[in-house]
Amino acid sequence: MRLSNQTLSQLPQQVVVPNYDRNKLKTKIVHLGFGAFHRAHQAVYADILASEQGSDWGYSEVNLIGGEKQIEDLKQQDYLFSVCEMSYDDWSTRVVGVVKQALHADVDGISKVLEVMTRPEIAIVSITVTEKGYCYLPTTASIDTHNELIKYDIANPTKPKTVPGVIVEALRLRQEKGLPAFTVMSCDNMPENGHVTRNVVLALAKMRDAKLAQWIEENVSFPSTMVDRIVPAATSQTMEKIQQQLGGIDDPAGIAGEPFKQWVIEDNFVAGRPQWQKAGAELVNDVLPYEEMKLRMLNGSHSFLAYLGYLGGYRHIDECMQDANYVKAARHLMLQEQAPTLKVKGVDLQAYADSLLDRYRNTGLKHRTWQIAMDGTLKLPQRMLDSIRYHLAHNTAFDCLALGVAAWMRYVSGIDDAGHLIEVCDPSVDKIKALVANSADNQERVKALLSLTHVFGEDLTNNSKFIEQVTDAYISLRNIGAKQTVEKLAQNFS
């Protein structure tokens, strides 16, 4: 039996179910990217608001590329899905009821998606499509015109495939119909994610029609957000546990994440917004200090642990936490190499670092190092490289950061310390593979990978101190492996 309106009453008593009239919700937010994270984050905030504050903000969920099954699953179960919180072996579950509609561009047609986005009542288009969904270059924070899908959208602007293309076309249709604009809110892990979103949308609009671009500039806001909740991709074990939580009822759209969640939002909405602050979100004028804190301390240490952990044979983050040297090194990275680069005020960064390590220890999560390791070319810049620039400018030490970059190089070289092949996933994987194939496994490899200037920028590619430190770390990883390299480094730390 499957989760649906009909089976809600059969769920075990401890499962929290919608206590509000779902028919009274209005579809005011279109969300692009119905993946794991959105379900356990923004959807839960909306569900809390509906059940505790009488909010009528409902969602239309859209997947543009990938995720056909998730949309189909939603349709099959009256748009209900469950979200579990897992704290070690202790799980709790709520069924989220704020979704009113679900569409997939390839299944329902892009025209249908655009029709929904041009309804007068749509106030917000929010996004969680991973960094690559923005089709941007980290070095310019703007559109990558060499991206094949962007080329397609430039040639077929009324039938777009990409996130920027779909937003531009929806806004053009709204302008044409004399409708007000909506707010575009990125919830992806990029620094100044609102700024990046604005840049890619405006760049594409300008290529199409200067007047449209001007209308967007004047009418659309692109608030930045800092989003946090660890939500690993669900495995078959996760799905089994969700079913147990639901007393045997099946929910293929269910997801599980850690109990912690945080959302800091730039308060800049052109057509209204839910009262997210009443569900625990923080509405602020400037999100950047929070974004940088989270991207460098959390995501930076996550990537560090992911590359070094994977190479050393640790398949999950909680396994890295069993290795005292990895813990020491991650803590040093956070407090000595990331914290000094931050501008955030009024946060106890030592307590923050310790709370992150505690969250990583949660054995319920089973967060794969392989998952975090993917798409490194779009993650390294904000997680490690910006901090390295800070240290180069201040002449301060960045041993862990250099090791993190070297570990990424070793990882994308494709063989772990036990000699097993690594399945490397990255939007630049073809370029990476060619560079690896054509370079010797020594300083040449480092030099070859540093030629990816869209990742490292001309400045780092040519910085001798940076090259030297990354090369030393790379050679150590090659000679003695990740575990011993981390052990050697950690000996210097208290």
> What are the residues binding ligand CS2 (CB under 6 A)?
189, 228-230, 298-299, 302, 371-372, 379
Residue (172 or 368) nearer to ligand NAI, CB? 368
Enter the tokens of residue 16. Answer: 């929290």
Residue 63 binding ligand NAI, by CB under 6 A: yes
Taking CA atoms, 254 is separated from 37, 90, 192, 294, in Å, by 11, 17, 30, 26
Residue 297 interacts with ligand NAI (CB under 6 A)?
A: no
Give alpha helix (H) positions in 362-413. 369-373, 376-380, 386-394, 399-412
- Rounded Cα gap, residues 459 and 32, in angstroms: 35
CB of 490 to ligand NAI, least distance (A): 26
Which 93-152 residues touch ligand NAI, going by CB under 6 A? 128-133
Residue 371 interacts with, from ligand CS2, ligand NAI, none (CB under 5-8 Å by kind): ligand CS2
Compute the chain's Rg from CA coordinates.
23
In 3D space, the residue among 313, 226, 316 whose CA is nearest the CA of residue 276 turns out to be 226
| Whole-angstrom distance, CA of residue 441 vs CA of residue 56 | 58
Helix axes 324-332, 399-412, angle to 10 degrees: 120
Picked from ligand CS2, ligand NAI, none, the partner binding residue 402 (CB below 5 to 8 A depending on kind) is: none
Is the Cβ of residue 232 or residue 481 nearer to ligand NAI in the bound state? 232
Q: Which is nearer to ligand CS2, 261 or 410 (CB)?
A: 261
Q: Are 410 and 307 in contact (CB under 8 A)?
A: yes
Residue 360 near which of ligand CS2, ligand NAI, none (CB within 5-8 Å, type-dependent): none
Q: How many CB atoms lie within 10 A of CB 301?
A: 29
The answer to the question of residue 369 lying near ligand NAI (CB under 6 A) is no
Q: Should residue 231 be labelled a site residue for ligand NAI when binding is judged by CB under 6 A?
A: yes
Contact predicate 139/386, CB 8 Å: no
Q: Quickly count: other Cβ atoms within 10 Å of residue 388's Cβ.
A: 25
Query: Encoding tokens for residue 445?
Result: 């490899």
* Residue 63 · residue 33 · CB < 8 Å: yes
Q: For residues 181 and 226, which CB has a smaller minimum distance to ligand NAI in the complex?
A: 226
Q: Contact between 11 and ligand NAI (CB under 6 A)?
A: no
Map residues 18-57 to x or -, x wherever contact with ligand NAI holds by CB under 6 A.
---------------xxxxxx-------------------
Q: Hey, CA dihedral for 164, 166, 169, 175, is it positive or negative? A: negative
Candidates 172, 229, 391, 445; binder of ligand NAI (CB under 6 A) is: 229
CB of 228 to ligand CS2, least distance (A): 4
Each as own residue / partner, the long-range contacts of residues 191-194 (CB below 8 Å, 24 or more positions apart, any chain) are 191/288, 191/291, 191/292, 191/295, 191/382, 191/386, 192/141, 192/224, 192/287, 192/288, 192/291, 193/224, 193/225, 193/291, 194/222, 194/223, 194/224, 194/225, 194/266, 194/268, 194/287
Burial class (CB in 10 A: 0-12, 13-18, 19+), 163: buried
Using the minimum distance from each CB to ligand CS2, give the nearer residue, 149 or 230.
230
Residue 163 interacts with which of ligand NAI, ligand CS2, none, CB < 5 to 8 Å by class:
ligand NAI
- Binding partner of 173, given ligand CS2, ligand NAI, none, CB within 5-8 angstroms per partner class: none
CB of 29 to ligand CS2, least distance (A): 21
108 vs 426 by CB, closer to ligand CS2:
426
Least distance from C-beta 261 to ligand CS2, angstroms?
A: 9
Distances in Å between the Cα of 239 and the Cα atoms of 252, 256, 345 are 7, 9, 40
| Nearest distance from C-beta of residue 245 to ligand CS2, angstroms | 22
DSSP state of 232: P
Min separation Cβ 28 and ligand NAI, Å: 20
20 vs 59, beta carbon nearer ligand NAI? 59
Count residues contacting ligand NAI (CB under 6 A)? 26
63 is in the binding site of which of ligand NAI, ligand CS2, none (Cβ under 5 to 8 A by kind)?
ligand NAI
Beta strands in 306-390 (DSSP E): none
Q: Is residue 66 a contact point for ligand NAI (CB under 6 A)?
A: yes
Could you say which of ligand NAI, ligand CS2, none residue 299 binds, taking C-beta under 5 to 8 angstroms by partner kind?
ligand CS2
* Cα gap 216→229, rounded to integer Å: 31
Give residue number: closest CB to ligand CS2. 302
State the binding partner of 193 from ligand CS2, ligand NAI, none, CB within 5 to 8 A by kind. Answer: none
**CA quadruple 271, 275, 279, 284: dihedral positive or negative?**
positive
The only residue of 3, 64, 356, 401 in contact with ligand NAI, by rule CB under 6 A:
64
List of residues contacting ligand NAI (CB under 6 A): 33-38, 63-67, 128-133, 163, 188-189, 227-231, 233
